[in-house]
Amino acid sequence: TVARILQLVESASEKKTRMENFITRFARWYTPVVTITAFLLAIVPSLMLGVPAAPWIKRACIFLIVSCPCALVISVPLGFFGGIGAASREGILVKGSNYLELVSKLAVLVTDKTGTLTKGNFVVEKIYPAEGITEEEVLSVAAEAENGSTHPIAKSILQAYQEGNFLKVELLIPDKTENRSGKGLIAKVGEKEILVGSGRLMDDFRISYTDVEDSAATICHVARDGQYLGKICIADEIKESSKEAILKMKMEGVKQVVMLTGDSKPVAEEVGRILAVDQVYSELLPAGKVEKVEELFRGLTENGQQKGYLAFVGDGINDAPVLSRSDVGIAMGGMGSDAAIEAADIVIMDDDLGKIPRVIAIGKRTVRIATENIVFALTVKILVLLLSALGLANMWAAVFADVGVTVLCIINAMRLLKKS
């Protein structure tokens, strides 16, 4: 993990903001222009007007010292590295200064549910067996299919089986398993074929089932050899920080918070209601999430111009495509998959959703300080350049306009390292 973080920090310098790129391009043209101007200022008046050359050479030297773009090319990148440093001190890894600039201008934040807004700590809440089937049989068949799986829902079923107050037998490891994305698991245990998953998995095998009306829990239907055995209701706990984090995001200027999830509509809507999410889209496969993000992107575009930026927050391997597609991908680094962390632009190392409004605030502060440095440096330089061309500025003024302004801009950029 440390090696990966070091690699990401090193590569962060390659991902510059538009502001940094502007300064680089500006310096590329600005430097030769002022050098040629200083040269002309030194020789043209004496050649054309026949005046002594020494005073004009002195003016040209002062002009050249003032024109040095150190304040701009040092303080602006330093400001953004200061912002990255401030974020890292709070457990937020920003992979490039461009993402710090983008996150300061977020209009829409799209988030996954499980493991992001919720803890991902699933617990079996209730079991509804079919007629003639016991709760113990439903749970033991489901546990047999899920044995060996690392999925959070599988873990909750296995834990409930181990803690159950009934006669337990040693579970066999399935001979073969097939995961159907967004639907569930098909397991071959000996001669038995066991299905554990959503209603869509039952539909695929034409097995009739019944849902629990208005349940805020995830429903896992269980079938064996084509026979429906019952359903298991599994609840997930909402993170304590989620509601406050969403409120703070809106205070930081995020206009819309959208939740995308593969969970059922009742579960998604209940979580969305509790957390005051603006829009909820449920029962989505990974490809469906990408489609919804594309749809939200179109809503942010007017006359071919992007009106704001979109961020996606996720933690699972199935979130990686959406994290890559969004303007800013934010991954939960604690419980998040390697694929999600790799695809993301910002990583929250301790899975605290409250860090997102914090990184938005750091991004805004960084952009503000960088803008202050640009305006201050250019204003002082233009003023002293005019005075030096007119012979009204001495060498001390030139030194201040170069070194003095650079030092002041660096000190201003270093304010980012101070906690606010």
Q: Could you give the residue numbers annotated as active site? A: 112
β-strands 256-260, 106-112 pairing: parallel
Query: Alpha-carbon distance 13 to 96, whole Å?
Result: 6
DSSP 8-state code for residue 336: -
DSSP 8-state code for residue 317: G
Query: Rounded to the nearest 5 degrees, what angle is found at the Cα of 296, between the Cα atoms of 345 and 103?
Result: 30
C-alpha closest to that of 369 among 336, 403, 417: 417
**DSSP H helical segments within 176-241, as ranges?**
199-204
DSSP 8-state code for residue 124: E
Query: Alpha-carbon distance 353 to 242, whole Å?
Result: 6
Query: Alpha-carbon distance 275 to 187, whole Å?
Result: 36
C-alpha closest to that of 154 among 74, 34, 234, 83: 234
Contact 195, 186 (CB under 8 A): yes
C-alpha closest to that of 373 among 92, 77, 116: 77
The CA-atom distances, in angstroms, between 388 and each of 89, 90, 373 are 44, 46, 22
The CA-atom distances, in angstroms, between 272 and each of 182, 247, 267, 397 are 20, 13, 9, 60
The CA-atom distances, in angstroms, between 297 and each of 292, 304, 408 are 9, 11, 40
C-alpha closest to that of 330 among 77, 74, 106: 106
C-alpha closest to that of 92 among 343, 420, 358: 358
